[in-house]
Amino acid sequence: MSKHLLCQDCLAISEPSSNENATCSCGGDLCGCLTCANDAEKLLSGERDYRRLHLEAPIDLSHWSASSGIRALQAA
C-alpha cells in the first residue's frame, strides 16, 4: 500500500485509508500508484517543476499545500 495518495484534481495529499474508492474533499479521485506516490513525495520535498511532477501543463504551485492542494488558488 502506498504511503501517500495524490488527488488527481487539486493535488492535495491524503493518507491511505481502508476505503479503496476514497475521494478527496474537492471531489477528485485519490491515486496511490507508484508514480502518484512518488509525485506526492516530490511535492512534500519542495519540487514545483510540472515536468518532474508528471503534470501535462504548467501550473502555478507557489501556493500549493499538502492539505488543500491548489484549491486556495482556485477560490481566489
Name the residue ranges covered by the structural domains of the chain.
1-76
pLDDT of residue 72: 62
Residue 17's pLDDT band (boundaries 50, 70, 90)?
confident
Asked whether 7 and 24 are in contact (CB, 8 A), the reply is yes
The set of residues, in sequence order, having a beta carbon less than 8 Å from that of 39 and lying 6+ positions away, is 6, 53, 54
pLDDT digits (tens, 9 = 90+) for 22-60: 899 999 999 999 999 999 999 999 999 999 999 999 999
